[in-house]
Every structure is written in structure tokens, then in C-alpha cells.
Amino acid sequence: MRTFKNTNIKPLIVAVCLLTAVSCNNKNKKNTSSKTDNPYQEKVDSIIGLMTLEEKLGQLNLPATGPITTGSSKSTDVVKKIEDGKIGGLFNLGDPKNIYEVQKIAVEKSRLGIPLIFGMDVIHGFKTTFPIPLGLSCSWDMEMIEKTAQIAASEASANGINWTFSPMVDISRDPRWGRVSEGNGEDPYLGSEIARAMVRGYQKDDLTANNTLMSCVKHFALYGAPEAGRDYNTVDMSRIRMYNEYLPPYKAAVDEGVGSVMASFNEIDGIPATGNKWLLTDLLRDDWGFNGFVVSDYTGIYEMKAHGMGDAYAVTSLALKAGLDMDMAGDSPNIDAAYIKHLEGALEQGKIAMADIDTAVARVLTAKYQLGLFDDPYRYCNEERSKNETYTQKNRDFARLVGAESTVLLKNENQLLPLKKSGTVAVIGPLAKAGNNMPGTWSVSSDHDKAISVWDGLQQTVGENVNLLYAKGSNLDYDLELEKRATMFGKTIPRDGRTDKQLLDEALAIAKKSDVIVATIGESAEFSGESSSRTDIGIPQVQKDLLQALLKTGKPVVLVLFTGRPLTLVEENETVPAILNVWFPGSEAGLSISDVLFGDVNPSGKLTATFPRNVGQVPLFYNHKNTGRPLGNKEGKFEKFKTNYLDVRNEPLYPFGYGLSYTTFDYSNFNLDKTSIGMGGEISVSVDVTNSGNYDGKEVVQLYIRDVVGSVTRPVKELKGFKKVSIKKGETKTVTFNLSVEDLKFYNYDLDFVAEPGIFQVFVGTDSTTELMKEFELKNNKE
Ligand code: BGC
């Protein structure tokens, strides 16, 4: 494999490049999605003029790729289709040599030589794997998050990939839903900031560069709100909730110039997103100004048959007419509704027009121009870059840091943590040696077997000074069938053939020899992710039992908790002295965890999703409405005929924004520079934060507002700003926020984005329960 420059492009396409005014080298600057004219339009139109209907439909076809045989036997179905111009792109092809070979077939053997686009689920890293997105979001560090996307882009693009199905920005308030692990939690403001950071990181203002990827924001829209938390289930919500609470992160990605959008599986207002013209055209393109291309989710078009939207011709036309450009995974023998198979018939039946097809083809071709593929179809296949820039020590060191920064300290009684680098530590639990689970869910390109387990990480870091002992303690779950479902995709945790009692006895014997127990328990990687919804969101019972037995030894226990979702942890919170929620930290997991356990990194992660007390409280989120019957007491005591439960208090176990540090932070001198502003004004909010504990640390200072009276009901609190600041022990820093009228706006009953005059409360503090509050008035005058 080597890099090529312009040599193998078909003469027809070269002619198009030469004849049209804009250079094929034209850099695609940021704002691919803005309303600016398409600089490639002329070239794209010329190519479309040369295409047969079959070739046009080929550009809209993104088949699921099984193994493709190239090299000596270029004979698979897929290869033949590429030669015939019936494929526009491929995804999740792992091997860069293969990508190179396949591209060569498209460029040299198909009639028009149009290059393929190569997509992949590069979700939280490529080979170097960062924490699962929910974990990463807990870092609240936008620069760091952007850099993870940039590293992922640089590694993936060196290995043939030019398009990533990320970021996933679905707001979710339902931890039963397994894909809560892939998103950024429950808050639209934070979710929007992260969406922007990810798009910036992947696209870096220059899609033609060979080290950037085109980003695809997903799953548009509202996929994170399925009824009962069951994946792929119906979504039904009011427009006002959509606009204010669920749509902002997608819009933020569009504003940041994201090149593509993936339609979600769910329905919206009774019409599946895949065929929803209001969503994909009226809102996305006409209101938001997006002009990239839209891809379906995996067999999303075909699934509209099961949704009850009609036969193959009806659903393919519905999708095309709605503004869906590319059909993912429709082209399989068992999928009987696909653009490639049915749009010709739909055209004959008069359900669609040739112009509809041309519009979609133009968008796909434009993306290929934006990526520079017409200039050099092999620009993303670079053996040298692949060797030198993938999974480098530098990238891995960064992943180690990110893993530590995403960790959330949930409890630390009597300063049990950090541990001393001496004595005997018993590492007990089924996840202690499960290195292959550390990258977490949706890590398709990760080398799972190379990821560093807790056990290996501790050996490498403190192994010389600390006497480390190990016992498995239990299997993952009592239920073998559930365990199998939760250890798929090569992320096996081999079931120990011994009885539960034998495993426990061994663990207790090891525990007795130790000074402190590190219990490595929780979910395995595939307990969360796609099609991994749960109704019981506790730690699997066998591990809960193990933990309680370990506590009975009287030794101090640190719970190192693995999870892809908020869990119910009431029992653990009551009984375990220290709980470190590490999510799935990525390829360097064991090192990241050791750094935090032994105090080389002071944890600063803050939850981005509420941890409920029990599953019956779900959906539970901080930015809820007050209702007409709010509770009258802060202690959470039951009150008849008020909004509460008979059997559990309303508050979560751990609220949004919560996370401890090894040090403590005190807030003082909270100040607003004005008591009122006009419609063009801005208010400066400042607060002094003092590190009053014994360690240097980082604090995520959070700012919330409450719009006290509105033309529609407003949330009790809304995040509107945050700053992550490093503060040395004993030091005080003044943290300042500027709150503009833009920050006070919301979508009203008519869906106009407005700020309404009246009193606003401003809160600052360490998490969403803060009561540090001041008020100001927004007045109806200009200044
Ligand atoms: C998922 C998407 C993913 C796609 C391609 C689908 O099942 O919902 O998030 O990008 O597969 O792998």
C-alpha cells in the first residue's frame, strides 16, 4: 500500500475537474452545513449528467460489509457491485490494505471511477480508545474532549477511514436504555458543548486534510427517549420539549459544520425519523441550514415496513422524499426494501421524480469532493502514517490521562482514598483481569486484547511497592444466559467452573491477608450499548453478594465500579466506604484507575446523568419542572397530595453535576455585577472558590439559572455555564461567567426562541443541588 496522487482517476472525472471553475483542491472550510452555495455544484452536476440511473442509485447505496475478498480473488458480490458502480461507500471495514484495494477497484474498474467513501463507528477512539462517551462527558473538559476526537480522526484517517458515525448526542434521562453509555448524559447545554467539541475535533476546519474525518451526528432525532427505556421503542414527546430539551445538541453539531447526519430508528410524531420530511427537511435543512448529506441508520429504511409505513416502494420513496440520501445496510439479500432495489420501481410508479434522486446523489458526491476524494482517492490510505500515528505511546499516554479525568468519586468516607503505595492490596472481582472489557461498548476498531486490565495496570504502576493479591470472587452474574448476552463481540469473561461458594471462599481467604480490598465489580462492557436495555439497573446480584461478604471481613473496601449507565447503588452507598465510578476508561484503563486510586491524579469528574435510588424513579433528571404540587420540605419527607412517592423520596442518590475530590472546595463572594439588564445586556457572575483541603485539585464550577415566571412552565434549574479550574491547596480563584440574554432564551408555545422579561435566579456551585442563589431582573428595554 502506498499513497497515490491523482494518477488513477478516470479521465471522465478528471475532465470534469478541469472543465469546472473550482479547483478540485478547493479546501472545504468549516461550515459545510451553512447556507453558502455549494462550490462543487457545477462539477457534481456534470458528473450526474454522465450517470445512468443504476449508477446514481449506486451512490446512495452503503451496504453492510461482510468479508470482502480482494487481491488474488476479486470475486465477491460486493466487488462485482463496486465494478458496476452500484456502491457509494462501505463501512466498518477494518483493514487499511483492504480499503486501499477496494478503492482501487472503484476508481479503476467502475465506468466513472467515482471513489468510495469509507465510514466507521469511530465512537470513542480508533485503536487508542478513550472512555465511553458517557464517561468522557464527566470530564467536563471541552479541550480534552476535542482532542480525543482529533486523535481518533488522525488514527482512523491514517487507516483508510474518512467518515465517522459520531458524535452520538442523544439526550437521555433513562438509564434503562443501554445506549445512554454512548451519549453525553441528560443535559442539553452540556450536550451541545460536547457536540461542538467533537465535531471540531474530527473535522478540524478542513475536511480535505488527510488527518481529519467527516463527522456524522446521530441519531437524529430523540433516539434517547424510547418508551420504557427499551431500545428502538416508540418516542412520543411534545414539540416544546423537543425544542428545549432534546434537539439542541444536534443543532449545535449542525452549527459547528457537521458534514453528515444519521436518521434515528424511532418514530417522531408517528412518522419514523427515516421518512420524516418535517424532521429531515423542514427542520434540519430549511430551519437549521444544514446542507450536508443524511444517511439512514442500519436498515432504517427497510424497518419502515415493520413500522407499518407501506411496501418496499412506499418506504423507499417516503425516505427519499423526506430528504434521506444514503441507505445504510439496505443492500442485503434478506432486506427487501432498499434504494438500490426499489427506487427504480418507485420512479416508474411515479412515487418519486428523477430530480429527487439527483438531489440525493449530488449531496453524496459533494461530500466526496469535500473530503478531497476526487483529487486523491487514496489520501486516507497511508502505510507510513498508519504505522507511525496509530496507537502511539503519546496517544496512549493521553488516553491514560483522559481515563483518570473521567472518573467520578462517588463516596470517600474518612479519606480512605487515595491509597498508600505500600502494604497489601487484595484486588477482587470478575472485572479485575477483564482487560478486553476496558474499552467499553462501541469500540469496533479497538484491539480489545491489548487493553490494560486493572490487575496489569496496578502491577505496572505500584507492583514493586505494594503486595498485590488477586481473587476472582464471583462470575459476572448468577444467570448464565444473561452473562452470555453481556459478554458478546469478543469481550468474553470466561465463566469460572467453580461453584459460587468456592469462588467466594477463595476471595475471603485472600481478603483476610490484605490491608485494603479493591473490589472491581459492576457491569461488563456489553451490559450497556445497543440493544442492551435493562429493567434492573443494579450491580448484578452475585457481585452485590460478593461485595457484602467482603465488607463483613472488616477490611476497608474500595469499590472500583464499572458501568455504562447510572446504576442504583443505595445499598452500596450505605455500606461501602469508598466508591470510584470509572465507567469503562478505554485502552489504558488499568493505568488510569491506578493513577486515581493511588493519588497521582486527583479525581475531578462530575456526573452528567442522575443516579436514581431505584428504577421506579426513572426518568429522573435535575432540570425538571416544579409542578403545581411541589414538596414543601427539603428533607424529602412524604407529603400527602404532593408530587412524591409513598416508598422512596424524590431526590436521586447522586445528582447531576455531582462528584467528589480528594480535596474540598469552598464557595464565597458570590456576586452579580448588576441587579437588572435590558434585552441587549449581559450580566457578569463571579464567585471565589477556595481549595480548603489537602491536595491540589480541579473543580467544575457550575452555573444554573431559573426563569421564575414564564409564558410556559420553566425548569427548576438549567445549566448555563461551567468552568473546570485547577486550584492548588490553600489557593482561592475567582471564577467569572458572562450571562447574556441569549442564555436566557427558550422556545415558547409558538416555538419562537425568546427571552421573557422578569426575575431570573442564578445559582453557582459544585453540583445541581446548589442553593447558592442570587436574583436579577430582565427588563423589556434595550440596554
Ligand atoms: C447503530 C448506529 C451505527 C450503525 C453502523 C447501528 O445499529 O444504531 O449507531 O452507527 O449501526 O454500525
Total domains, the chain: 3
Report if residue 196 sits inside a domain. no
Q: Is 164 helix (H, G, I), strand (E, B) or coil?
A: strand
Report if residue 406 sits inside a domain. yes
The answer, yes or no, to whether any atom of ligand 1 lies below 6 A from the CB of 182, is: no
Among 223, 530, 532, say which to mutate for ligand 1: greatest number of ligand atoms within 8 Å of CB. 530
For residue 300, the domain's CATH number is 3.20.20.300
Cis peptide before 338 (omega within 30 of 0): no
Whether 684 and 720 map to the same domain: the answer is yes
HSE-up (13 A, CA, CB side) for residue 380: 36
Report if residue 653 sits inside a domain. no
Element (H, E) at 249: helix 248-255
Whether 378 and 464 map to the same domain: the answer is no
In terms of Cα–Cα distance, which of 123, 62, 74, 115 is closest to 98? 74
The pLDDT of residue 371 is 98
Q: Whose CA is nearest to atom 12 of ligand 1?
A: 121
At residue 415, what are phi and psi to the nearest 5 degrees? Answer: 50, 45
Q: Is 126 helix (H, G, I), strand (E, B) or coil?
A: coil
Report if residue 238 sits inside a domain. no
The pLDDT of residue 300 is 98
Cβ distance 215 to 202 under 8 Å? yes
The answer, yes or no, to whether any atom of ligand 1 lies below 6 A from the CB of 121, is: yes
Q: What is the mean pLDDT of each run of 10 residues along the chain (783 residues)?
A: 40 49 41 63 97 98 71 64 97 88 97 98 98 98 98 97 98 98 98 98 95 98 98 98 98 98 98 98 98 98 98 98 98 94 98 98 98 96 92 98 98 98 98 98 94 98 98 97 89 92 98 98 97 98 98 98 98 98 98 99 98 98 98 94 98 98 98 97 98 98 98 98 98 98 98 98 98 98 76
Pairing of strands 746-747, 753-754: antiparallel
Helices (H), 272-427: 277, 300-307, 312-322, 339-348, 354-370, 383-389, 393-405
The answer, yes or no, to whether any atom of ligand 1 lies below 6 A from the CB of 506, is: no
The answer, yes or no, to whether any atom of ligand 1 lies below 6 A from the CB of 530, is: yes
Cα 394 to ligand 1 centre (Å): 30
Whether 669 and 582 map to the same domain: the answer is no
Whether 470 and 584 map to the same domain: the answer is yes
In terms of Cα–Cα distance, which of 721, 660, 145, 61 is closest to 338? 61
The answer, yes or no, to whether any atom of ligand 1 lies below 6 A from the CB of 298, is: yes
Whether 443 and 584 map to the same domain: the answer is yes
Whether 561 and 417 map to the same domain: the answer is yes
d(CA 299, CA 306): 11
In terms of Cα–Cα distance, which of 228, 222, 229, 268 is closest to 249? 222
> What counts of helices (H) and strands (E) characterise the chain?
23, 26
The pLDDT of residue 6 is 38
In terms of Cα–Cα distance, which of 617, 623, 580 is closest to 602? 580
Report if residue 750 sits inside a domain. yes
Q: How many CB atoms lie within 10 A of CB 190?
A: 23
The pLDDT of residue 782 is 76
Cα 298 to ligand 1 centre (Å): 6
Whether 461 and 593 map to the same domain: the answer is yes
d(CA 561, CA 135): 12
Which atom of ligand 1 is found nearest the CA of 216? 10
Among 118, 120, 121, 264, say which to mutate for ligand 1: greatest number of ligand atoms within 8 Å of CB. 121
Can 297 be counted among the known catalytic residues?
A: yes
Report if residue 239 sits inside a domain. no
Q: Which of 170, 174, 297, 767 is catalytic?
A: 297
Which of the listed residues 364, 386, 408 is the one where a domain comes to its end?
386
Which of the listed residues 597, 617, 649 is the one where a domain comes to its end?
597
Question: Looking up cell 486523535, which residue turns up?
Answer: 151
Domain that holds residue 437: 399-597
Which atom of ligand 1 is found nearest the CA of 165? 10
The pLDDT of residue 668 is 98
Q: Grid coordinates representing 152?
A: 481518533
The pLDDT of residue 76 is 62
d(CA 708, CA 756): 10
The answer, yes or no, to whether any atom of ligand 1 lies below 6 A from the CB of 179, is: no
Whether 378 and 479 map to the same domain: the answer is no
Question: Which residues, in sequence order, are bridge partners of residue 687?
Answer: 735
Report if residue 55 sits inside a domain. yes
Whether 480 and 539 map to the same domain: the answer is yes
Burial of 450 (0-12, 13-18, 19+ CB in 10 A): middle
In terms of Cα–Cα distance, which of 568, 590, 591 is closest to 579? 568
d(CA 236, CA 233): 10
For residue 696, the domain's CATH number is 2.60.40.10
The answer, yes or no, to whether any atom of ligand 1 lies below 6 A from the CB of 688, is: no
Which of the listed residues 561, 580, 597 is the one where a domain comes to its end?
597
Whether 280 and 422 map to the same domain: the answer is no
Report if residue 268 sits inside a domain. yes
Whether 368 and 406 map to the same domain: the answer is no
Whether 366 and 469 map to the same domain: the answer is no
Cα 239 to ligand 1 centre (Å): 26
Q: How far is CA 331 from CA 321, 354, 603, in A?
A: 19, 21, 47
